[in-house]
Amino acid sequence: MKEYRYLGVALAEAQLRRVDAMAQDLGTSRSAMIRQLLDVALPFVEAGHGVNLTRLIAIIESTQAATDRLLTLADPDFAERLPVLTIERLNAYHDA
């Protein structure tokens, strides 16, 4: 299990509401949500890129939509099994 260090962070009220809403939607804690956001953003910043989460999510969603369409046409049975396989891989390889 990971060890965490405690620190105080001040957020704007609007930021806190957004973090809390996301945490509630995902069924996780505020702290876990902030850690997830940092895990996504830090690699981009470290690589010298800006962080535009809206653009990132749009790219992911458009890629997902195209992949869904192509898989459904090519192999409908596999396309139906894909969500379960994805969750299995998340659990096996990404500590989900």
Question: Tell me: the pLDDT tens digits for 36-93?
Answer: 999 988 888 898 887 787 888 899 999 999 999 999 999 999 999 998 999 999 999 8
CA proximity to 36, closest of 53, 14, 61:
53
Which tokens in the block code for residue 35? Answer: 């850690």
pTM for the model: 0.54
CATH topology of domain 1-49: Arc Repressor Mutant (1.10.1220)
- Stated length of the chain: 96
